[in-house]
C-alpha cells in the first residue's frame, strides 16, 4: 500500500512529532498543557521531490514512505432507487403529567376507613 521513497533511518523520540515537508524530515515537540509551543527542527534531508497525489510520512523504520492520496473522500450510500426521502418535521412532545406519590393515596384510604368507623 505504501512505498518507501528514501531510507533515512531516523531514530524517533517519544515526546516529538515527525513530519515530511519539502523533501525533508522535521520534528516538533508535542503539545502539552501549560507548555509553550515548540519550534520545528529539521532532522534529515531526504533529497526527493514531493508529488501532490501522494501523502508522505515517516514509517516505523524511520524511513520516508508515501501512499496514494484519497481524492473525493468516501463513497456515500444511495438513497433508495434515486428518490430522496423527505424528512418529517420535528414535532414537540407533550409534557407529561405529574404522578402523585403513592403514600398520599394510602393516607386518603385510611382516612375514609376511619370516617366510616366513626359513624
Summarised one tens digit per residue, pLDDT across range 63-87 is 999 999 887 877 788 876 656 666 7
In 1-119 the beta strands, taken as DSSP E runs, fall at 2-6, 16-21, 24-29, 41-45, 54-58, 64-68
- What SS3 state is found at 48? coil
Summarised one tens digit per residue, pLDDT across range 35-66 is 898 899 999 998 888 999 999 999 999 999 99
Alpha helices by DSSP H, 1-119: 102-118
User: Which pTM was predicted?
Assistant: 0.55
> What are the structural domain ranges in the chain?
2-68
CA distance 81 to 74: 20
Q: Specify whether the CB–CB gap between 50 and 16 falls below 8 A.
A: no
User: Bridge partners of 29?
Assistant: 16
Amino acid at each position: 500500500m505504501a512505498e518507501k521513497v528514501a531510507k533515512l533511518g531516523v531514530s524517533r523520540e517519544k515526546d516529538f512529532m515527525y513530519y515530511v515537508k519539502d523533501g525533508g524530515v522535521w520534528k516538533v515537540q508535542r503539545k502539552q498543557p501549560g507548555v509553550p509551543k515548540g519550534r520545528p527542527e529539521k532532522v534529515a534531508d531526504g533529497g526527493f521531490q514531493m508529488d501532490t497525489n501522494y501523502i508522505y510520512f515517516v514509517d516505523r523504520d524511520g524511513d520516508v514512505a508515501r501512499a496514494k492520496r484519497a481524492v473525493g473522500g468516501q463513497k456515500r450510500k444511495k438513497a433508495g432507487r434515486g428518490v430522496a426521502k423527505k424528512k418529517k418535521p420535528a414535532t414537540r412532545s407533550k409534557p407529561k403529567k405529574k404522578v402523585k406519590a403513592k403514600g398520599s393515596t394510602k393516607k386518603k384510604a385510611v382516612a375514609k376507613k376511619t370516617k366510616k368507623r366513626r359513624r
